């Protein structure tokens, strides 16, 4: 019964991981992978080869999806190369620049604020031939493109995480159901023995 409880607990952890792909304050795919590794060790990797391979591939994909979505979002609104360079510089500065000041939440905040600020400054510097108002408008337009791209990236990552959890359930449920059946048969046998002791 402890194995069954652990299984459902790990599924709950994985659901939190899916939510984490939508909310930056919560770990995402890495949490799902950790839950799978725990189950693998408990069950001695029984039937876990496919699930772990899929989860690892999805984890690698997730690392690039968000940045790619932000990049494409910026390109869609006509961002210059300067703003795209600013996006990368802002990303790195946001993650590592806030790390000393805010070790817990700093890198997470920087992951979102850094690229937007960096792209804005890069685009603003590039559009120096424009008047102030159109210059600001174009720079803000690039920021909106990055934000929209980031949101789309999070949704895509959540879908990938959901796929990983589904693969895990499909590949592990047959083994778990056999364990449940065995435990129920043992319980039924023990109950029948107990009944015969009292009623015979």
Q: Dig out the tokens for 5 from the structure.
A: 């409880």
**pLDDT score at 71:** 75
Domain tally, the chain: 1
Q: What is the model's pLDDT at position 191?
A: 45
CA distance 162 to 160: 5
Strands (E), the chain: none
Residue 11 has what pLDDT? Answer: 92
pLDDT at 130: 85
- Its pTM stands at 0.69
pLDDT number for residue 194:
46
Q: Which residue has the tokens 């899916």?
A: 18
Report in angstroms the alpha-carbon separations of 66 from 26, 109, 118: 15, 15, 16
pLDDT at 102: 58
Token pair recorded at residue 148:
């929209």
Tens-binned pLDDT, residue by residue, of the chain (200 aa): 677 888 889 999 999 999 988 876 677 888 888 898 888 888 777 666 777 788 778 877 877 787 788 777 777 777 888 888 888 888 788 777 765 555 555 566 777 788 888 889 998 998 888 888 888 998 898 888 888 887 888 888 899 889 889 988 888 877 766 655 655 554 454 445 445 555 55
pLDDT for residue 98: 61
Q: Phi, psi (5° rounding) for residue 98? A: -90, -5
Inter-CA distances, 113 with 33, 47, 82, 110, 164, Å: 27, 42, 17, 5, 29
Q: Which domain holds residue 90?
A: 2-199
């Amino acid at each position: 019964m402890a194995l069954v409880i652990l299984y459902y607990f790990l599924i709950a952890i994985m659901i939190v991981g899916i939510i984490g792909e939508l909310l930056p304050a919560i770990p995402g795919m890495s949490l799902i992978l950790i839950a799978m590794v725990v189950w693998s060790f408990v069950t001695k990797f029984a039937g876990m080869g496919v699930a772990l391979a899929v989860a690892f591939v999805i984890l690698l994909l997730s690392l690039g999806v968000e940045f790619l979505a932000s990049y494409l979002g910026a390109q869609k609104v006509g961002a210059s190369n300067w703003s795209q360079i600013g996006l990368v510089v802002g990303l790195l500065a946001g993650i590592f620049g806030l790390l000393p000041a805010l070790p817990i939440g700093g890198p997470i905040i920087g992951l979102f604020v850094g690229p937007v600020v960096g792209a804005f400054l890069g685009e603003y510097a590039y559009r120096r031939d424009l008047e102030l108002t159109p210059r600001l408008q174009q720079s803000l337009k690039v920021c909106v493109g990055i934000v929209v791209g980031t949101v789309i990236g999070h949704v895509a990552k959540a879908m990938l995480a959901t796929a990983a959890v589904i693969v895990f359930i499909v590949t592990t449920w047959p083994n778990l159901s056999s364990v449940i059946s065995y435990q129920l048969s043992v319980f039924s046998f023990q109950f029948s023995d107990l009944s015969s002791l009292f009623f015979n």
